[in-house]
Amino acid sequence: MAEQVTVQEVSDAMYKMIKDSMGQKKWKATDLTKAVTELFGDRCNKDLTKAAIRDLIENGKCVYTYFGGSFIEIPHREGAEN
């Protein structure tokens, strides 16, 4: 069996995906899970992706947002707040 990736590697990969597509694509938790599962194959699993999302949020690198559905984004001041 392939060696598992670390939570850090998964959250770094997720962060890069979010950063690289800012303004073009909003990511849902399920989208991120699918994308990293594709990237790491069986070296990744659900517990890892869950922990990685929690890591991104709790370290303040990303926040949950709501626009008719919940997304994970890099924090920004929202239009309404300005």
Partner 1 sequence: MPEVQPKQKRKTDIGPPHYEKFLPPIIKENYGKWKYHEVLKPGVMVTVSETGARLYTVRAGSPRLLSIDKIRAYADLADKYCNGYLRFTSRHNVEFLLTDESKIDPLIRALDALGHPVGGMANSISSIVHTQGWVHCHSSATDASGVVKAVMDDLILYFTEMKLPAKLRIALACCLNMCGAVHCSDIAILGIHRRPPKVNRDRLKATCEIPSVVSACPTAAVRPVTVDGQPSVEVIEERCMFCANCFTVCPAMPINDPLNDGVSIWVGGKVSNARSEPMFSKLAIPFIPNNPPRWPEVVEAVRNLVEVWARNARKYERMGEWINRIGWPRFFEMTGIPFEKVHIDDFKHAGTTFKRSTHLTY
Partner 2 sequence: MAEKKRSTPQLDELEKGSWPSFVKEIKTAAEKNPMANDLLGQLERSYEDKISHWKHGGIVGVLGYGGGIIGRYSDLPEEFPNVSHFHTIRINQPAGWFYTSDVLRKLCDIWEKHGSGLTNMHGSTGDLVFLGTKTDELEPTFNELTDLGFDLGGSGSDVRTPSCCCGMARCEWACYDTMALTYFLTMHYQDELHRPAFPYKWKFKMSGCPNDCVAAIARSDMSIIGTWRDDIQVDEAAVTEYAKSGVDIQKDVVGNCPAKCMEWDGKKIKIDNKACVKCMHCINAMPKALAPGKDRGACILIGAKAPIVEGALLSSVLIPFIKLVPPYKELTDLVEKIHELWAENGKNRERVGEFIQRIGMGNFLEAIGVEPTPEMVAHPRENPYVFYEEYFEEDSEDNKNA
Cα-flanking dihedrals φ and ψ of residue 75, to 5°? -60, 140
**Which residues are 27's β-sheet partners?**
72
For residue 27, the Cα-to-chain-centroid distance in whole angstroms is 7
Q: How far is the CB of 43 from partner 2 (least distance, A)?
A: 19
**Measured from the CB atom, is 3 or 81 closer to partner 2?**
81
Residue 41 found at the interface with partner 2 (CB under 8 A): no
For residues 75 and 63, the answer to whether their CB atoms sit within 8 Å is: yes
**What are the tokens at 46?**
């659900």
Partner that binds at residue 3, options partner 2, partner 1, none, CB closer than 5 to 8 Å by kind? none
Q: How far apart (Å, rounded) are the C-alpha atoms in residues 74 and 39?
A: 21
Amino acid 59 reads: N
What would the x/- binding string for partner 1 be over residues 22 to 61, using CB under 8 A?
Answer: --xxx---------------------------------x-
Residue 74 found at the interface with partner 1 (CB under 8 A): no
Interface residues with partner 2 (CB under 8 A) are 28-30, 33-34, 50, 53-54, 57-58, 60, 63-70, 72-73, 75-76, 78, 80-81
